[in-house]
Structures are given as C-alpha cells and as structure tokens.
Amino acid sequence: MTETVLPTRAEKRKFAIDMRALSPFIALIVLIIAGALINPDFLTASNLLNVVTRSAFIAIIAVGATFVIAGGGLDLSVGSMAALIAGVMILTLNNLGGGDVGTLAIGLLAAIALGAACGLANGLIVTFGRIEPFIVTLGTMGIFRSLVIWLAAGGTITMRNFELRELYRPVYFGSIFGIPYPIIAFLVVAAIGALILYRTSFGRHVVALGSNEDVARYSGVPIWRVRTLTYIIQGICVGIAVLVYVPRLGSATPTTGLLWELQAITAVVIGGTALKGGIGRVWGTVVGAVILELVANIMVLSNFVSEFLVGAVQGAIIIIAMLVQRSVHRGR
C-alpha cells in the first residue's frame, strides 16, 4: 500500500477533529461579540459573572451527562432527580431542626448520597435489565418527579430554619476574590470530570464502551461496572448541582428542575460530545452550558425575541449543534 507519503490527508483530518473540539469555543466568542454589540451592559463583569453563575447547575449536571453520553447512554431523569434531591434535602434539614454547620453538612451529604443512589438505580436497571437507557430514565424521570410532588403534597417544600438559611445562603450568593462560589464549584467539578475522563483507565473505558460495546467486552472492559458508574457519576453531579441550587430560592417545588435534562443534553452536544457515544468533551460541555445561559441573557438584554421563547431558542440550538456536528463529521 502507498503508506509512505500522504501527509496532507492526515493533516486535513486532524484539522477537522480540532474543528469539532474548537467549534463550541468559537461559538462562545461569536456570542460574546454579538452580545457586546447588542447591549453595552452585556460586557460588564457583573453581568458576565451573573451569567456564568446561573449556568452553574446545568454545567455541573452536564459534566455528569458527558460521562453517560460518552459511554453510549442517556439520562433523561436528571431534572426530576434534581427536584427530588432538593425536596428530600430540605425535608431532611427541616426534620433535623438545627441551625448549625453540622446539620447542614448532614443535609448536603444526604443530597449527594441520594444522587448517587438515584444514579445507581438508573445504572442497574439499564445494565442488568438490559433496557434502553432512554426508556429507563424516561420511567425514573416520571417516578422522581411524582415523588417530589407527593412529598410536597403538590405545594412547595421550604427551608424553615431561618439561621440555617442564612448559613447556607452564601453557597449561592457568596464569592471569594470576586468569584461566586457556584462558579468555583462548577470549575472544580469540571476539572475533576476532565481528569477522570481523560486521564484514568475508567475514563478510557467509558469512551471505549461508547465507541463500541462489543469491542470493549472483547477487550476485557468490565462494561457493567463502567456503565453503572457513569450513571452514579451523573447522580452525584446532580446532587452537587442541587447543593448550589437550593440556597438560591431555599425551596423545592414540583416545577424545580423542569427541562433541565434538555438543557444538560444540549450543553453536552453543543460541547462536541457525540450523542452516540465514543467522544466526550468535558470542557466543551462547560462552554455549552455557558452558551445556553448567554443566549438567554442576550435575549433578555435585547428586544428582538421575547424572553418567553428562551426554551424554543435552546431547543433550536441543540438541533443546530447536531447539524454542525454532522457536517464536521462528513467533512473529513
């Protein structure tokens, strides 16, 4: 075979792959320029920090979703799971009754543990039940959602202890060196996520599983364990997102976390992760989540489109992102 030369073709392909990784960052820059042109208030530090802070929950959830999707799975239950975790966490805090750090810590741990448990449930049903993840998480989405409605008796679950609320409030509203805690939380989660996905054997196994399950199995990858773990990671990420989210409003309602799954999956796809698995981009996901919030922000700051149509625009973005992915894929 004429294997000796052909350098140009390889370079071309490399360039195409880079395009896939770069495109979310390019989109981000374009959006920032557009925002700056539309409204001078856009490019202020306070507005941008606000945007990133607001994107934190989705970003954290989406980091988890990156694992699930890169591994060839899907989790539709994250929004309902967030609502359930928020509800259970607040009820736990209310029942403990204290206003001290210890109480708060127990509540936070309970949230993370419940997230991990929900993820474990999803993972076990998908692996041992051998059911499509779409169906499994569609089912648990309904279960989690109605559990929180039931716990709240159709109303709102609110943190009752005033001291605890004051103690907890800074987790969303506070900052260190001018950087809000939620941003720090999401950067830390993303950094850990990137480390796990790119540098550990587990991360490599996730990508292998998403690329081709049979090859993974024939290569001795413990596929059940790896797949279940991706869902557990997703659950833990939802738990962490809830920790940051609850102090914002101090309550959970039946509509908490509504359509978060759409936003999380959108963020992942915008970020360049392949929806069919095999390619995972943690930093792309983070940028994707920020892009979603930026679009909403620009819509609010401009008067072109009603802000009530944010959901429609985000829905359109996921479709466009898929089209872009496909054309990049074809181009090589």
Partner 1 sequence: MESVLRAENISKSFGPIEVLSGISLDLKAGEVHAVIGENGAGKSTLMRILSGHLPPTKGALHLNGQPITFSGPVDAEAHGIVLVHQEILLAPDLTVAQNLFLGREIRRFGFVDDKAMRERTRSILRELGTNIDPDREVSRLSIADRQLVQIARALLVPHKVVAFDEPTAVLTPIEAESLFEIIRKLRAQGVAVLYISHRLNEVKAVADRVTVLRDGRHIATRDIEGLEPLEMARLMVGRDMSKLYPEKPETASDQIVLTVRDMAVPGYVENASFTLRRGEILGFGGLIGAGRTELFEGIVGLRPGHGTVTLDDRNVHFRDAREAMAAGIVYLSEDRKGKGLLLQQNLRINLSLAALDKFGRGSFIDTGAEEKALDQAIKDFDIRTRSRDLLAGQLSGGNQQKLLLAKMMLLEPRIVIIDEPTRGVDIGTKEQIYRFIASLAAEGKAVVVISSEMQELIGLCHRVVVMRNGRVAGEIAQADLSEDAIVYLATGVHEERAAEIAAGHA
Of residues 6, 26, 188, 320, which one binds partner 1 by CB under 8 A? Answer: 6
192 binds partner 1 (CB under 8 A): no
| Residue found by looking up tokens 């950067």 in the block | 187
Q: Which stretch binds partner 1 (CB under 8 A): 7-15, 113-121, 170-178, 239-247?
A: 7-15
Give the integer Cα–Cα distance in Å for 17 and 332.
8
- Do the Cβ atoms of 157 and 252 come closer than 8 Å? yes
Q: Spell out, one character per residue from 145 to 184, where the chain touches partner 1: x when CB under 8 A holds, - when not.
A: ----------------------------------------
| Identity at 226, one-letter amino acid code | V
Q: CB count, 10 Å around CB of 167?
A: 16
> To the nearest whole angstrom, how small is the minimum distance from the Cβ of residue 295 to partner 1?
30
Give the residue with the Cβ less far from partner 1, 141 or 279.
279
Which segment (50-58, 63-71, 90-98, 211-219) binds partner 1 by CB under 8 A?
211-219
Stretch that binds partner 1, among 110-118, 210-218, 259-267, 284-292 (CB under 8 A): 210-218
Q: What are phi and psi of 6, to 5 degrees?
A: 55, 35
Applying CB under 8 A, which of residues 95, 219, 255, 303 lies at the interface with partner 1? 219
CB 59 within 8 A of CB 264: no
Among 20, 54, 145, 205, binds partner 1 (CB under 8 A): 205
* Residues linked to residue 176 through DSSP beta bridges, in sequence order: 179
Q: Which residues pair with 158 in a beta bridge?
A: 251
Distance CA 215, CA 295 (A): 40
Distance CA(157)–CA(167), nearest Å, equals: 18
Residues that bind partner 1 (CB under 8 A): 1-10, 12-14, 195, 199-201, 204-205, 207-208, 211-212, 214-222, 278-279
